[in-house]
């Protein structure tokens, strides 16, 4: 994937370079924009008809489960935190963990073949906790929005200890 820098932001980043998620639970295709200074990120996910989370979820009327939509937003936020932490510590030694979700709203459905645009901004950082606000849109319409908090927890598989 070609990474480019234009103006203040970076575009076309492989999310696997910023978060530990992998298939089938990697739910973002590309980081389409990242501005570390402004602490904002945008990503995209094209929902395929054969996605594991579509199978069996309302088989007669397939739609993306709300929990998957929020996970897309959470992963986008984790990628932002990973980008910001990259120079501070080895991101592989820590995993992003959601510690709070507030004001979750679902406004429109996400269907197979939809391209989901995700945007997340950090609103505050207090100690190890990051407070974020994110949304998922399809065709310019908000599908879901949420305010959430995330902490970087030690990754037990690397032997990292809690500070």
Domains delineated in the chain: 4-158 (3.10.129.10)
pLDDT range class, residue 1, cuts 50, 70, 90? low
pLDDT range class, residue 59, cuts 50, 70, 90? confident
pLDDT: which is higher, 96 or 63: 63
Lowest-pLDDT choice from 7-11, 33-37, 126-130: 7-11
Whether pLDDT at 6 is above 70: no
The catalytic residues are: 57
Q: What is the pLDDT of residue 155?
A: 79
Tell me the C-alpha to C-alpha distance, in Å, between residue 134 and each of 29, 68, 80, 131, 147: 17, 14, 11, 10, 6
Average pLDDT, the chain: 90
What's the maximum distance between 2 C-alpha atoms anywhere in the chain?
49
Whether pLDDT at 89 is above 50: no
Q: What is the pLDDT of residue 90?
A: 56
pLDDT range class, residue 86, cuts 50, 70, 90? confident
**β-sheet with 9-11: strand ranges across:** 4-6, 9-11, 30-35, 40-46, 115-126, 129-138, 141-154, 94-106
């Amino acid at each position: 994937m070609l990474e480019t820098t234009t103006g203040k932001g970076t575009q076309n980043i492989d999310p696997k370079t910023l978060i530990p998620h992998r298939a089938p639970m990697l739910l973002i295709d590309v980081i389409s924009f990242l501005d570390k200074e402004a602490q904002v990120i945008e990503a995209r996910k094209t929902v395929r008809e054969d996605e594991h989370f579509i199978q069996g979820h309302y088989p007669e009327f397939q739609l993306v489960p709300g929990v998957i939509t929020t996970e897309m937003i959470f992963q986008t936020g984790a990628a932002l935190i990973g980008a910001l932490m990259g120079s501070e510590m080895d991101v592989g030694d820590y995993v992003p963990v959601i510690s709070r979700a507030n004001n979750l709203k679902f406004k429109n459905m996400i269907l197979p073949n939809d391209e989901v645009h995700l945007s997340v901004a950090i609103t505050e950082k207090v100690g190890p906790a990051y407070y974020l606000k994110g949304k998922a849109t399809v065709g310019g319409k908000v599908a879901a929005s949420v305010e959430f908090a995330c902490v970087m927890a030690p990754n037990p598989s690397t032997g990292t200890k809690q500070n």
